[in-house]
């Protein structure tokens, strides 16, 4: 099995909808004149996914994690560049399984592969490492920034929070769940749903947005910092799935449990801010995009994040989000 064969047989067919990719027979792709929103995310075995995860699901998670970044900017996805570092002695069937996952989600999200690079680790212990650079076109109202919110803007989040973290805990058997809950939570971990339709609908409405990948509280902190404000989040307002709700109910300390949900990563929901005058428009955008949106707090004077109980008292948060460097 040669690199040439892998690229020609497995990856080149993924460029059918990307004319500037030259069927992967050139060193570079050509993108015609247009505004581009560009984002880059890494996925590493043992860090962002489990080494045993099925490779087609890993491929789809790679695509979806990146599309989630585009969704939070209100951008429409166009295509991507892919870098793969395979573990030593990876067989062709594994790469084909990975490419099947790419093909499935390329069709689902109507995107094309534009180019990339593929190589192999020199030792047996090097983990599968994936790098993707995604391109999208900004909405005509302009890309939703992370930094545009004003004092008094509401904070919203889409979907439900904490499911992927609970799903990972379920897969690792750290918590017990019913079979139904385990299946739905672990599928949130394996296959996030990028909120592209909502993102498009929020263009021109949201003043700031981020996708929730580090954890709700950590990502609220990113927005707060970028806007020079403080994020105040009502813990009880955090949207929970049925599985997450029953997990919270089974915990001794409800507030600590909610803080845990809001500290897990990998939600791939959109956290965004909008002025109170926009509340009706946000409801319309939510309905039009068939995506649940919950109002969870506000941006106030100050800095950092306050995670508040029903009486408005701050709940201590031990570890607001994942930090790769500590």
Residues that bind its own copies (CB under 8 A): 1-3, 6, 22, 25-42, 44, 46-48, 69-70, 72-73, 75, 81-83, 85, 114-123, 125-127, 129, 131, 133, 136, 138, 143, 145-147, 210-211, 225-226, 323-326
**Residue 163 Cβ, how far from its own copies at the closest point, in Å?**
21
Q: What burial letters (b/e) apply to 129-152, b meaning 16+ CB within 10 Å?
A: bbbbbbbbebbeeebbbbebbeee
Q: Residue 202, by phi and psi: left (phi above 0), alpha (psi -120 to 50) or beta? A: alpha
Pick the closer one to its own copies by CB: 74 or 243.
Answer: 74
d(CA 251, CA 254): 6
CA quadruple 321, 215, 182, 104: dihedral, nearest 10? -120
Pick the closer one to its own copies by CB: 19 or 237.
Answer: 19
- Asked if 305 contacts 226 with a C-beta cutoff of 8 angstroms, the reply is no
**Residue 83 Cβ, how far from its own copies at the closest point, in Å?**
4
Pick the closer one to its own copies by CB: 26 or 107.
Answer: 26
Cα separation of the two ends of the chain = 40
- Asked if 164 contacts 265 with a C-beta cutoff of 8 angstroms, the reply is yes
- Residue 200: its H or E element: helix 196-202
Pick the closer one to its own copies by CB: 86 or 177.
Answer: 86
**Residue 140 Cβ, how far from its own copies at the closest point, in Å?**
13
**Residue 137 Cβ, how far from its own copies at the closest point, in Å?**
11
Pick the closer one to its own copies by CB: 243 or 321.
Answer: 321
Backbone torsions φ then ψ of 253, nearest 5 degrees? -110, 105
**Residue 196 Cβ, how far from its own copies at the closest point, in Å?**
14
């Amino acid at each position: 099995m040669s690199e040439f064969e892998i690229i020609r047989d497995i990856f080149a067919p993924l460029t059918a909808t990307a004319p500037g990719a030259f069927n992967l027979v050139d060193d570079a792709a050509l993108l015609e004149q247009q505004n581009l929103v560009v984002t880059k995310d890494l996925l590493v075995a043992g860090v962002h996914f489990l080494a045993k995860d099925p490779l087609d699901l890993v491929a789809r998670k790679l695509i979806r994690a990146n599309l989630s970044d585009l969704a939070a900017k209100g951008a429409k996805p166009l295509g991507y560049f892919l870098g793969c570092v395979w573990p030593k002695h990876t067989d062709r069937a594994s790469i084909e399984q990975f490419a099947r996952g790419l093909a499935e989600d390329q069709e689902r999200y109507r995107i094309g592969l534009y180019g990339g690079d593929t190589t192999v680790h020199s030792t047996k212990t090097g983990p599968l490492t994936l790098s993707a650079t995604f391109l999208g076109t900004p909405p005509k109202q302009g890309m939703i920034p992370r930094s545009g919110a004003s004092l008094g803007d509401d904070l919203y989040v889409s979907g439900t929070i904490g499911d992927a973290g609970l799903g990972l805990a379920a897969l690792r058997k750290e918590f017990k769940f019913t079979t139904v809950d385990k299946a739905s939570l672990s599928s949130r971990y394996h296959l996030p749903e990028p909120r592209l339709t909502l993102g498009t609908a929020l263009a021109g409405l949201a003043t700031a947005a981020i996708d929730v990948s580090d954890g709700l509280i950590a990502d609220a902190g990113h927005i707060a910092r970028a806007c020079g404000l403080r994020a105040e989040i009502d813990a009880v307002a955090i949207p929970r799935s049925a599985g997450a709700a029953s997990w919270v109910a089974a915990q001794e300390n409800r507030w600590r449990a909610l803080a845990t949900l809001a500290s897990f990563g990998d939600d791939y929901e959109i956290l965004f801010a909008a002025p109170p005058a926009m509340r009706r428009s946000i409801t319309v955008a939510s309905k039009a995009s068939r995506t649940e949106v919950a109002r969870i707090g506000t941006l106030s004077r100050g800095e950092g994040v306050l995670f508040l109980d029903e009486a408005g008292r701050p709940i201590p948060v031990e570890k607001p989000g994942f930090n790769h460097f500590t």
